[in-house]
Amino acid sequence: MYPGNVGNTSLQLRRRDFLMAAAGTAAALATGTARAASPLVLPPLPYAENALEPVISGRTISFHYGKHHKTYVDNLNKLAAGTEYADMPLEQIIAATAGKPEKTAIFNNAAQVWNHTFYWNSMKPGGGGDPPAALKQRIEASFGSVDACKKELAAAAVSQFGSGWAWLVLGGDKLKVVKTANANDPLTTGVTPLVTVDVWEHAYYLDYQNRRADYVGAVLDKLLNWEFALRNLG
Ligand code: MN3
């Protein structure tokens, strides 16, 4: 449908589709005898673990996806089991727990499940380069140029103190850059996320050690999935 889509079904998923995939088949699993704590399943990576090399190593992805992302899913399942959240779609859990100090643990894990699925889809092998024309136009209207947009996104990613995320979002009719700390995501502020960059150290430390700026620059130049951003724009 869009240039750059090469038949990878996962990459063609719209944001809501993969969120539903992330939420799993709640009803089916709820009736299953072998049902574990909760219905949430770790969504498959949209590419092989080593597909983002040399920008991000297979070793980084294997820990980041296979350990970190999986742990958020497992923790969320434990926390949600037997509660009102057990059968709730992920986005709804995030909305229902955001900003509630007594729900911090469940919010953190739910948001991190969502954020990581969004992050994997924000990148693709052979990404970066020029956005599709329809997106480019929107970027130029909001930032002046694609370069200015990338500079702002890189600055947000590099300047996020400690762990967090940098995002390109749609707010009203404007594209803008925001950053969030720890597990927070901009969904809870009423904007539409388009792409994100994970700047927790676990995202880059094995490959870049303390050189966060090098990791961010390489992701934006070589991996960013502009087609995914365009699809999220609706
Ligand atoms: Mn991470």
DSSP for 25-93, written as a single string: -HHHHHT-TT--S-S--PPPPSS-TTTTTTTS-HHHHHHIIIIIIHHHHHHHHHHHTTSTTTTS-HHHH
- Single-letter amino acid code for the residue at 11: L
For the entire predicted model, the pTM comes to 0.85
Q: How far apart are CA 65 and CA 45, in angstroms?
A: 8
| Per-residue confidence band for 10, with pLDDT thresholds at 50, 70 and 90 | very low
Average pLDDT over residues 37-65: 93
Tell me, in angstroms, the distance from the centre of ligand 1 to residue 158's CA: 15
Gap from CA of 116 to ligand 1 centroid (Å) = 6
CA pair distance 184, 111, nearest whole angstrom: 7
Residue 231 CA, ligand 1 centroid: distance in Å: 23
Ligand 1: distance of its center to the CA of 69 in Å?
A: 7
Residue 184 scores a pLDDT above 50: yes
Residue 31 CA, ligand 1 centroid: distance in Å? 32
Cα 26 to middle of ligand 1, angstroms: 25
Q: What percent of the chain has pLDDT over 90?
A: 82
Distance 207 CA to ligand 1 centre (A): 14
- Cα(142) to ligand 1 centroid in Å equals 28
Per DSSP, the three-state class of 167 is strand
Measure 137 CA to ligand 1 centroid, in angstroms: 30
The predicted model gives 187-205 an average pLDDT of 96
Tokens coding 82: 């037997």
**Structure confidence at residue 151 (pLDDT):** 98
Q: What is the pLDDT of residue 203?
A: 98
Tell me: pLDDT of 36 over 50. Answer: no
Going from the Cα of 223 to the center of ligand 1, the distance in angstroms, rounded, reads 16
- Assign 175 to helix, strand or coil: strand
Name the band, by pLDDT with cuts 50, 70 and 90, for residue 38: low
Catalogue the long-range contacts made by 11-17 (C-beta closer than 8 Å, 24 or more residues apart). 11/46, 11/121, 11/124, 11/225, 11/227, 11/228, 13/121, 14/231, 14/232, 15/118, 15/121, 15/193, 15/231, 15/232
| C-alpha pair distances (Å), 185 with each of 4, 100, 188, 229 | 27, 15, 7, 16
pLDDT of 33 reads 30
12 or 108, higher pLDDT: 108
pLDDT value at 225 more than 70: yes
The CA-based angle 96-234-113, given to 5 degrees, is 40
Long-range residue pairs from 136-142, CB within 8 A, at least 24 positions apart, any chain: 138/175, 138/233, 139/175, 141/174, 141/175, 142/174, 142/175, 142/176
Q: What is the mean pLDDT of the chain?
A: 87
pLDDT at position 3 is 35
Sheet holding 174-181, edge to edge: 174-181, 164-171, 192-198
Walk me through the domains of the chain, giving residue ranges and CATH numbers: 9-48+56-121 (1.10.287.990), 133-233 (3.55.40.20)
**Residue 131 burial (C-beta neighbours within 10 Å; 0-12, 13-18, 19+):** buried
* pLDDT attached to residue 234: 87
